[in-house]
Structure formats: structure tokens, C-alpha cells
Amino acid sequence: MAESLRVGIAGLGTVGASVVRVLTEKAAELTRQCGRTITVTAVSARHRDKDRGVDLSKVSWFENPVDLARSNEIDVFIELIGGDEGPARDSVKAALEAGRHVVTANKALLAKHGVALAEIAEKKGVLLNYEAAVAGGIPVIKTMREAMAGNSVNRVFGILNGTCNYILTRMEAEGLSFEACLKDAQRLGYAEADPTFDIEGNDTAHKLAILTSLAFGHKIAADDIYLEGISNITQADIRAAAELGYRIKLLGVAQRTESGIEQRVHPTMVPTASVIAQVHGVINAVAIETDILGELLLSGPGAGGNATASAVVGDIADIAKSRPGFQHGPVFGRPAKELKPYKKAQMRSHAGGYFIRLTVHDRVGVFASVAKRMADNDISLESIVQHAVGPETVDKKTVILVTHETTEAAVRKAVEAITKDGHLTDKAQVIRIERAG
Ligand SMILES: NC(=O)c1ccc[n+]([C@@H]2O[C@H](COP(=O)([O-])OP(=O)(O)OC[C@H]3O[C@@H](n4cnc5c(N)ncnc54)[C@H](OP(=O)(O)O)[C@@H]3O)[C@@H](O)[C@H]2O)c1
């Protein structure tokens, strides 16, 4: 049998401790599958005495993850600290430069420094595996990088943040407010004490940026993503969506267009009958649309110790199975030096259907004026419906418009004109409609 693969793990929190546990509990099965044993030889975290529910008595302890990354005691460095700078970046860079394979679950790090790190890995001939960084346990990286060779991707989109999907699912199922669902998500441990990063779409954007690079062969451009979170989604939107045959999901979407690549994260109306609309709660899903395969949808647990550890252990097993001297495939599907510069499509030229909810003064002529502003901007309407918001607000009416395919620029101009006309009592709500099978 080949020599044991020696693993060093930096970060022993939710994911790190689960990885140690899975490697211990599944040792015999992993040995059979990989043809060699996998041994955790060294670890690093901040608090040495913390009980992590795993036996670390025979494992070397490193105060500094960078020292662990360079240590001769390991063949593979596993980074499970988190953060896009500091110890995570320093240790991954040090490990790659020292010729160690690296496995990480850190989307923030890859979104910011992925291409530079991939260049080092490729120069050194080592692997930089990151299956757990996007959609947790769902094997989307391997699927896109390996199983879809030869396919040209047209669009990749997904539900990439379990916290947002949990909140939207409960808002719809139970008629609760955004704030009430967020509180419950925090109580149940699905949302952080400071949930901004999740609910404003930044976490989805990090994962989308990695998928975009894999899909289209561009450099990662996480700062060039159109971003809108879910905090302004109300029951009025959820109910109107349901009446119209849609469900609201926070999607990350990357799409090839004539003017470049669109990358956008925003609340999206998807047809209630579509497969992605059936993805509820903390579950994640990624849809990939290609010329050869058509549309593929992968769905499963996107976070949590076990699901994330499953992806990390899969990455470690791939390294255990690889043979010395074997030339490894490029980190983002194409050699990092050959990734094209990102060509951004302007959001204003985004084409699609739109849902527009207007709360207007109950005056004669408002309805006709709204319809005229749409026509002025060449927006063709699939439907326009008017009804009172409720008996207590008889002076206000809600007008809900659904457009046929139009452009973002036209919708923005029309809404601006309607706002200037002075008919609105509240800010207009605009939600994009996404085609989904
Ligand atoms: N949790 C999930 O469901 C999930 C899913 C997908 C991806 N991820 C990614 O996985 C990574 C880890 O997430 P997590 O949820 O496991 O985080 P976590 O529970 O907060 O654990 C972080 C670990 O890093 C250690 N650490 C922090 N600073 C350190 C330093 N300077 N030197 C050494 N160790 C240090 C901490 O040590 P102490 O324990 O001693 O404080 C802790 O063990 C992140 O990149 C995250 O984005 C997480």
C-alpha cells in the first residue's frame, strides 16, 4: 500500500471539527477507496484547550497556521479558518509555495485571490481543491470542471445562500414578515448575529463569482456583480408573486450576452412550476445550462458541518488517489494565466420580464398614466392589475404590472417617470423575472 497521506488542518470550528470526525469515522472506507490511509498529523486553531468533540491527543499542534502550512509533517494543507485576508490567505499561499496541496472551503478568499493562488498552484504542480466553497455539499465544482468537458455554458444560476432561502420559504409558507423570519433563522443558527453579508447578497456573490469563472473561462470578478439583497421583500410581493404563478428566490445568475457576461444577485421571480422553485428552506441549488447537455440542476445541503465536510473529504480523497508526478488539471478549468479578462455586460442592457408593484394615490387617471409611461418606453405588458391594498387604506391602490421581455434601462426610465409624476405613495418595487425550466 502507498504511504499514508498526511493532512494538516487549520481551523477546527464547525467545518474543521467535522472534517476530523469524518476522516476518523470513515477511515477504513476511505482507505479502501483511495488505496492508502489518510492521517491527520497536525492542526492549528486559536484556542488549544477548547473541546471540539474529536480526539486530537496524537496530533501536533501549531499556534500559527502559516507554520503548519510550511511544515514537513504534512502533504496536504486544509484551510478552514475563513476570511479573505490574514491567516487564511497567508497560510494557503505559504502552503502552495512550499509545494503542498491545498483544500479550502473559503469562498471569500477564492473570490478575492483565487486566480493569484491558482497561478501558484499550477506553477508548483499541486492541487488547489475548493469543492466546499460553493454550495457546500453539492459537487458543482467537479461537475463543471470535469464532467462537462466540451460543453459551452450559456447561463449558470442558483440558490446559493441557505439563510436567504430559509427566510423567503417561511415568508411564503407562513405569511410572516422578513424581520420575524430573520429572527427565527438567527435563533435556529441558520443566520449569523450580523446577517448583513447573507441577506444583502454578498455571500451569494462570492460563490457566483467562482462559478462564473468556471463557466466562461474569465478571471474572477467578484467586485463586478450587480447586487440586491432580500431585506426589502414584503408579504405584498410574496402574495402578488403567488397570485401570478411565481415564487421569489434570491438567485445568483451569470449569463453570456452579446455585450459581455452578466453577473447579478437579486430577488427573482421564478415560475412556481419550475424545478428551482421547489427548492425550499436551507437547501441550495445550482442550474447549469449548456449547449450539449441542456439544463442540469443540482440540489442539496449547502452548509453545515457534515455537508461541508463531505465536500472537503472528497477533495482530500482526490489528492490521496492522485499519483506523484501526475500533471494536475488547472484550478478553474483553464490554466490560470489563460483566463480571459472579465468583460462585464452593463446591467442597463439586461433583457427579461419584470414584476413592478406600485402603491399609488387613489385618483382618477393614475392607472392610465402608469400604462402610458410603460408604452412611452416601449414596454409591452403581459398584465396590469389594480386593487385596493386593504380596507384600512382605501386612499391607496396597488398596481401590479408584469412586463414581456424588455430592458433594465427601459424599466428604470419608466419607473423614474412614474415617480416624477407624483402618483406613488411608496417607492416602486421592481423584481426581475428569470426564465427557469
Ligand atoms: N459553516 C458552514 O456551514 C460552511 C459552509 C461552507 C463553507 N464554509 C467555510 O468554511 C470556513 C470555516 O467555516 P466555519 O463555519 O467552520 O468557521 P468557524 O466555526 O468560525 O471556525 C473557524 C476556525 O478557525 C480558527 N481560527 C480563527 N482564526 C485563526 C487563526 N488566526 N489561526 C488559526 N486558527 C484560527 C478558529 O479557532 P478557535 O476554534 O480556536 O476559535 C476556528 O476553529 C469558512 O471559510 C467558511 O466560509 C463554512
Phi, psi (degrees; rounded to nearest 5) at 37:
-85, 155
Q: How many angstroms does the Cα of residue 61 sit away from the middle of ligand 1?
A: 16
328 Cα: distance to centroid of ligand 1 (angstroms): 28
404-408: long-range pairs with CB below 8 Å, 24+: 404/353, 404/379, 404/380, 405/351, 405/352, 405/353, 406/351, 406/352, 406/353, 406/354, 406/377, 406/378, 406/379, 406/380, 407/348, 407/349, 407/350, 407/351, 408/347, 408/348, 408/349, 408/350, 408/351
Return d(Cα 88, Cα 133) in angstroms, integer: 13
Q: Report pLDDT digits (tens) over 190-206.
A: 888 899 999 999 999 99
pLDDT (tens digit per residue) in 377-418: 999 999 999 876 665 567 889 999 999 999 999 999 999 999
Give 105 Cα–ligand 1 centroid separation in angstroms.
9
Ligand 1 near 195 CB (within 6 A)? no
302 Cβ below 6 A of ligand 1 = no
CB of 132 shorter than 6 A to ligand 1? yes
Q: Are 88 and 46 in contact (CB under 8 A)?
A: no
For 161-196, write each residue's pLDDT tens digit.
Answer: 999 999 999 999 999 999 999 999 999 988 888 999
Which pLDDT tens digit goes with each residue over 103-149? 999 999 999 999 999 999 999 999 999 999 999 999 999 999 999 99
What per-residue confidence (pLDDT) applies to 19? 98
pLDDT of 329 reads 87
Residues serving a catalytic function are 207
- Site to probe by mutation for ligand 1, drawn from 18, 49, 71, 80 as the one with most ligand atoms within 8 Å of Cβ, is 80
Q: Residue of the nearest CA to atom 10 in ligand 1?
A: 105
255 within ligand 1 shell (Cβ under 6 A)? no
Tell me the CB-side half-sphere exposure of residue 420, using CA atoms within 13 A: 7
Closest CA to 100 of 60, 129, 131: 129
> Ligand 1 mean position to 289 CA, how many Å?
33
What whole-number distance in Å separates Cα of residue 412 and Cα of residue 430?
A: 9
Residue identifier of the C-alpha nearest atom 20 of ligand 1: 13
